[in-house]
Every structure is written in C-alpha cells, then in structure tokens.
Amino acid sequence: GQQVMQIPQYQHVQEGEDFTTYCNSSTTLSNIQWYKQRPGGHPVFLIQLVKSGEVKKQKRLTFQFGEAKKNSSLHITATQTTDVGTYFCAGSDNYGQNFVFGPGTRLSVLP
C-alpha cells in the first residue's frame, strides 16, 4: 500500500534560523496536503498542492511539489517561536478520496 515518509523526525533550531522538512511517497500522488499540529492540539490544514513542480508561499512558509509528484517539501524562513509544532504531509493518490499521513517532523524553536 501507499507509504509516506518524512525527514527529519525532529529538528531543533535557534529562532531566526531556517527549517525544512521533506516528504516522500512510495506512489505517485494526485495531490498532497500539509498540516500543522501544535503540542496538545489537532492537525490544522496549511495548504494543498496539486500540480507537478508547484510552488506556493504563505508568508515565511514555502511549499513545493516535486516534478514526479512523489515528493514535497516545506521550508520556513527565519523561524519564530510560534512555528513550534509537528508538521505533517498527507498524500493522496486518488484525488483526495484517501489521504495517507506521514509520521511528521517535530520542530522546536529555541528563543
């Protein structure tokens, strides 16, 4: 079955440093979503990517979908303490009928 992996598992950065998490799928995806889960909270939708090679930006966050639609990345520029949490990618290979979540990357930001 479809598998989604993420690296790194954990990332500790100093406030102001950049952060990147990578997501890889065992199958070609139709679309991929990114979620953020704060400690003790529930996953909250950040963005969805659909097109091959697509790049989307949300303020300090940059999301990219690979050309082969099997990988994706999330880059945060100049991290802030409010960025703390776990970032999950969720891939679908059937146009959103089922999403398989990755294990997440847990980000800690030291002030």
- Residues in the site for another protein, rule: CB under 8 A? 4, 30-31, 33, 35, 41-45, 48, 50, 88, 90, 92, 95-104, 106
Closest CA to 13 of 63, 84, 72: 84
- Complex with another protein: residue 80 or 94, whichever CB lies closer: 94
Closest CA to 56 of 31, 27, 26, 28: 31
- Complex with another protein: residue 81 or 95, whichever CB lies closer: 95
- Complex with another protein: residue 2 or 77, whichever CB lies closer: 2
Shortest separation between residue 102's beta carbon and another protein, angstroms:
5
* CA-atom Rg of the chain in angstroms: 13
Shortest separation between residue 16's beta carbon and another protein, angstroms:
27
The span from the CA of 77 to the CA of 19, in Å, is 7
